[in-house]
Amino acid sequence: MTSEYPTFTPRRATWRFMGLHPLRLIALGFGSGLSPVAPGTAGTLAGWALFLLIARYAAPSPLGWAAILAAGFLVGWWACTHTARAMAVSDPSAVVWDEIIAFWIILAVAMPVGLVGQLILFGLFRLFDAVKRGPVGWADALFKPKRGALPGWPQGFGIIFDDLVAAACTLVVWGLLLLVLPPPVMHALGIDHPFRIFQAGC
């Protein structure tokens, strides 16, 4: 019987690899993480599209979104752990569920906001996630495996954790912007009150 984790030799994520297990489908962002260029950006775009689809057709309440995010985090942790272990890589670039769940959190907190505002949130998140300076860099280095060991649950959590920190940094900058931007700019962003970010979940 072939083991689920047959080797310590790193494996490349492919469509065939993804199709061998449903957890890999989730971790690889339903194929967006297989993008040959900027898989993290592709995963974030997929997460953005999924969020808008859920918001439009399911219209969850704030409590509903909290449940979706909690379930997405827990299932995503499992999926990221499984996939990183199967690939024998602690933080594979093809694993993009971390970008998806983090951007869902950003949008769930910041919405309602217009397209321009969503683009700003997207750009801020990608900047924090890609540059990995300050708190994001600290979070990224926190859960690296020991040399010669396969990734485990701590590394699966670490895959998501640095993106959660990037999401928090994004929301801090967003909140500061909302406090200083003049009303015409706020209107262009699709926000009619400087404290709407805090009222959206009420």
Longest dimension (CA), the chain: 65
Residue 2 has pLDDT above 70, yes or no: no
Residue 140 has pLDDT above 80, yes or no: no
Residue 201 has pLDDT above 70, yes or no: no
pTM above 0.85, yes or no: yes
Please give the average per-residue pLDDT across 160-182, as a whole number: 92
Half-sphere exposure of 20 toward its Cβ, with a 13 Å CA cutoff?
13
pLDDT digits (tens, 9 = 90+) for 97-113: 999 999 999 999 998 88
pLDDT at 1: 38
How confident is residue 91, by pLDDT bands cut at 50, 70 and 90? Answer: confident
Residue 148 has pLDDT above 90, yes or no: no
Residue 67 has pLDDT above 80, yes or no: yes
**Residue 50 CB contacts under 8 Å (≥ 6 apart), including other chains:** 100, 104
Spatial distance between the Cα atoms of 105 and 70, rounded to a whole number of angstroms: 10
Residue 74 has pLDDT above 50, yes or no: yes
CA Rg, the chain, in Å?
Answer: 18
